[in-house]
Every structure is written in C-alpha cells, then in structure tokens.
C-alpha cells in the first residue's frame, strides 16, 4: 500500500467537523457523561479509563473534555511523573495501585503502567528482563482488577508521523503549551519506527477478552474526542441513555485486531 493510500485509509485527510457542530455535539455528549456519573455514583461502580498513545496524540485534550462538567469529588485524572528511587525498587504496579478507583469513582490515566511497554522500552529506561516481566504479568494484573469489579476501558490514540511532528512544533511556539514541551519530544520523531514496533508488540501481547484494546484514529482531534466519549458511553450502563447520540464512528474508533498491524489502520 502506498503512503498516500495508507494515509487516506487511516483518516489523515478526512474533512474536519466544523467548530459549531463540534461544540454542539460535545455539549450533548457531556450531558450524557453527567447522566453516567449520576448512575455510577448511585450504583457504587468503579470505572477506570486508560488513554495511551504517542506524544501529542491528544490524550490531554480528550481527558479535559471528558471531565469538564463532572463532579471533581468523584472524578480523578492521574498523570504520574518520573518514578522515584523507591518506585524503581518496588513492585512495578505498586505506584499505580493507590490511584485505582474506589466505589463511585471515575479515574482516567493519562498514560499508565503501559509506560513500560512504550517510552521505557524505546528509551532504555527499563531492562529487557523488566520489560518481559511486565508483558507477562500485565494481563493477569488487569484481569484481577476486572474480577474485583473495576470497569476497565483501554484506548490507544494513533496519529501519523506528519501529524505528530506538526503538533510538537506547534507546542514550541504556543506560550500556553510550554508546560507540555519536554526533552523527550525530539526523540519521539527520531525513534518513530522503534515506537511503532513497541506499540505493535504491546497491543498484540496485552489485548485480551477481559481487558481489550480499543484503537482511535486521532489525526483529527475533534472527531477523536467525540468518538472516544461516544465509545465510553456506549460501553457503560446508565439510565436514560440516548442510544442514537452515542454511536461511535467505526472508522474512528474500533476494536483491536491483529490485522490492524498490516492493513494500514495504524500509522507505520
């Protein structure tokens, strides 16, 4: 498949939704999110949403729109920094456990334990043995969470190399986004192929029926945000659900399958 055809298939050149239509759709979906929160508070549900993806894939913006009108008391966003010396000598999942949701809570992880399968793997921040131990145990860990009653949703936001480069450059020139700029940004493009290989291995080895991966074509930020919210709402039970409103576009959000790695549905 040619580069042009691959980009077309991955949705790189689809026309964007207008700002007005985007805002109107977002507001209606945020009303549904409030309904969802009212329901899971009443039912003592525990919801955990993991958002993964390359640098500048749109995780921050998506999370911001999800939590914008939710109760901060029952909603938490977790974005951990570098591990401490103590963290490095502890069980790998230990630093994440305190942030897991209790009853009536929605927790969103802006990157998660999958750092070990991505940036730590590519940048050499973990050993081969540590990486292999993670890959062999993460599904067991997640299955334990699901069996304990946690409703776990895992999303991987995928963008093209050209789109990532554009977004990283935009960060540098935007005075309101300086907090996002890091020394790792330049490495994201330099090690593009290595990150692709790490992503492919992560998806193939950590996708399972109890904790499956959902993929998101995220070149178009607005469409990605709307469809992630729709997908979340479609997967979770709550009263007075507007079924017509929450149908995600299968060209934007879709379940992982091994064929995704070869058929142009993921950026190479």
Instruction: Provide the pLDDT for residue 182.
Output: 80
Tell me whether residue 134 is in a domain: yes
CA–CA dist 161, 102 (Å, integer): 38
For the chain, 268 residues long, give each residue's pLDDT as a single digit of tens.
Answer: 444 444 444 444 456 899 999 999 999 999 999 999 999 999 999 999 999 999 999 999 999 999 999 999 999 999 999 999 999 999 999 999 999 999 999 999 999 999 999 999 999 999 999 999 999 999 999 999 999 999 999 999 999 999 999 999 999 888 888 888 887 778 899 999 999 999 999 999 999 999 999 999 999 999 999 999 999 999 999 999 999 999 999 999 999 999 998 888 899 9
206: in domain? yes
Determine the pLDDT at residue 186: 80
CATH of the domain at 209: 3.40.50.300
Give the pLDDT confidence score for residue 176 in this predicted structure.
Answer: 83
Of 59, 116, 128, 49, whose CA–CA distance to 83 is shortest? 116
Whether 268 is in a domain gets the answer no
- Of 101, 91, 93, 60, the residue nearest 221 (C-alpha): 60
In angstroms, rounded to a whole number, what is the distance separating the alpha carbons of residues 187 and 124? 12
With respect to residue 99, please indicate whether it lies within any of the assigned structural domains: yes
Give how many domains the chain has, as a whole number.
1
Report yes or no on 76 lying in a domain.
Answer: yes
pLDDT at residue 15, as a whole number? 66
Q: Say if 214 falls within a structural domain.
A: yes
Task: Check: CB of residue 196 under 8 Å from CB of residue 222.
Answer: no
Domain extent at residue 250? 3-13+22-261
What pLDDT, on the 0 to 100 scale, is given for residue 12?
Answer: 46
Please give the C-alpha separations between residue 136 and each of 93, 116, 199, 202, in angstroms, as whole numbers: 13, 12, 16, 11
């Amino acid at each position: 498949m040619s580069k042009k055809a691959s980009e077309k298939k991955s949705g790189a050149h689809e026309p964007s939704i207008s700002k007005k239509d985007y805002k109107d759709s977002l507001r209606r979906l945020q009303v549904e999110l409030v309904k969802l929160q009212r329901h899971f508070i009443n039912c003592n549900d525990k919801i955990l949403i993991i958002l993964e993806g390359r640098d500048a894939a749109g995780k921050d913006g998506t999370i911001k729109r999800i939590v914008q009108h939710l109760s901060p008391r029952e909603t938490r966003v977790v974005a951990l920094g570098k591990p401490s010396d103590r963290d490095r000598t502890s069980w790998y999942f230990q630093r994440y456990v305190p942030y897991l949701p209790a009853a009536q809570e929605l927790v969103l992880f802006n990157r998660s334990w999958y750092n070990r399968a991505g940036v730590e793997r590519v940048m050499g921040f973990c050993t081969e043995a540590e990486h292999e131990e993670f890959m062999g145990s993460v599904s067991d860990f997640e299955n334990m969470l699901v069996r304990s009653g946690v409703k776990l949703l895992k999303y991987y936001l995928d963008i093209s190399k050209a789109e990532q480069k554009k977004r990283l450059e935009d960060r540098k020139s935007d005075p309101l986004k300086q907090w996002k700029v890091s020394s790792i940004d330049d490495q994201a493009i330099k090690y593009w192929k290595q990150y692709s290989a790490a992503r492919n291995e992560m998806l193939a080895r950590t996708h399972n029926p109890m904790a499956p991966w959902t993929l998101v074509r995220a070149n178009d930020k607005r469409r990605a945000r709307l469809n992630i919210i729709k997908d979340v709402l479609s997967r979770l039970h709550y009263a007075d659900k507007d079924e017509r409103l929450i149908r995600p576009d299968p060209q934007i959000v879709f379940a992982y399958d091994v064929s995704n790695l070869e058929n142009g549905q993921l950026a190479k």
